A and B are shown apart, each in its own frame.
Chain A
Amino acid sequence: MAQSLTHGETALPADWRDLFALTKPRVMSLVVFTALCGLLAAPGEVHPVLAFSSILAIALGAGASGALNQWYEAGLDSKMKRTAGRPLPAGRLDRQTALQFGVGLAAFSLFLMLFASNWQATLLLLVSILFYVFVYTMWLKPRTPQNIVIGGAAGAFPPLIGWVAATGSIAPLPVLLFLLIFLWTPPHFWALALFVRSDYAAAGIPMMPVVAGEKSTRRQILFYAIIMAAGAIAPWALGLTGALYGWTAVILSALFVLLSIQVGTRATGDGDSMQPEKRLFAYSIAYLFILFGAVVADHWWPL
């Protein structure tokens, strides 16, 4: 790893594109969107500059978490086809640069959040970064197939932080949005884990399909999808959102459960193209985007 970086005594400076790739930009887009929805769904008005700065701080915090995750998992990433092309396993960046970049970005994101928003949101951002790096990446992921279940909390923080950045306090709706992402994470990741199972097995990561087998994973995807659907409809049932969100949640969650039934009840043979699993994975991303968009739409234009 990283053998191509040094030339005698001189190291090539890291290319900015590789530093950018360390932040997992695609994951960041979902983080930014859910955080923005949390902020926009909050009561009251936030100054646009402060709102922008808070979202930027959350994005940078997520980027820092991604960079520190890649720094720690560089060895594992080199064993998986899906991740072998990342800057560290591909040898385009050295680990020390990645660590410094991650820590620096994390510190800056916290400073920006504190300056633009409030200490409560800053504290939550700090907890989310520490949870992702220490609890999920270092502790849970290499040890237990429940890594995604508990670690899902790390990805569930953004809407909560967005809300707290706007209001300075926690309320039931952002807690339910936190819960929604928390419950969404297992079926989302296990659908992916089913079709990249051999990758995880090669890297020795105890993902559910590797440890408990495919059949058990499929059953658990269905189980979590049903609880997640209940969690998605809960804000409407509890009167925290209106019918626009409610019906969107009902229809989209029903489709999610239907796709999960397809995945949960089938058995695969050798050479299976895993289309239902890929479909569920792709749909789960669209599901979260649309549902969070509906939270904001419902807040702005209640039916």
Chain B
Amino acid sequence: MTDENSQEPSGQEPFDEAEYRRRQRSRANLMAWMLGGLAILFFFITIAKMQIFA
């Protein structure tokens, strides 16, 4: 984390901690949903293959 009181080099935007957290949170949520979805998908693929090769 950067020190909020420190001087930013010229031409750079001030660090927006709220935006940083918002992006982190939205990516973490998305990743959780995607991993959950993939676990379910892989489960059903396995079941489908078991049915085919049974």
The one of B1, B24, B27, B45 that contacts A53, using a Cβ cutoff of 8 Å: B45
Cα A53 to Cα B37 in complex, Å, equals 12
A12 in contact with B23 (CB, 8 Å): yes
B1 in contact with A13 (CB, 8 Å): no
B12 in contact with A6 (CB, 8 Å): yes
By a CB distance below 8 angstroms, the chain A residues around B45 are 49-50, 53, 115-116
Nearest chain A residue, comparing its CB with the CB of B15 = A7
The one of B2, B6, B11, B23 that contacts A13, using a Cβ cutoff of 8 Å: B23
Q: Is B41 an interface residue (CB 8 A)?
A: yes
Encode B1-35 as 1/0 by CB contact (under 8 A) with A.
Answer: 11000101101111110011001101100100000
Cα A266 to Cα B48 in complex, Å, equals 56
What bracket does the count of chain A residues touching chain B fall in? 10 to 19
Nearest chain A residue, comparing its CB with the CB of B11 = A3
By a CB distance below 8 angstroms, the chain A residues around B19 are 12
A233-282 contacts to B (CB < 8 Å): none
Cα A139 to Cα B14 in complex, Å, equals 40
By a CB distance below 8 angstroms, the chain A residues around B27 are 13-14, 16
By a CB distance below 8 angstroms, the chain A residues around B24 are 13
Encode B40-51 as 1/0 by CB contact (under 8 A) with A.
Answer: 011011011101
By a CB distance below 8 angstroms, the chain B residues around A15 are 23, 26
A10 in contact with B23 (CB, 8 Å): no
Q: Is B54 an interface residue (CB 8 A)?
A: no
By a CB distance below 8 angstroms, the chain B residues around A9 are 2
In the complex, how many angstroms separate the beta carbon of A110 from the nearest chain B beta carbon? 15
Cα A60 to Cα B50 in complex, Å, equals 25
Residues of A within 8 A of B (CB): 3-4, 6-10, 12-16, 47, 49-50, 53, 56, 115-116
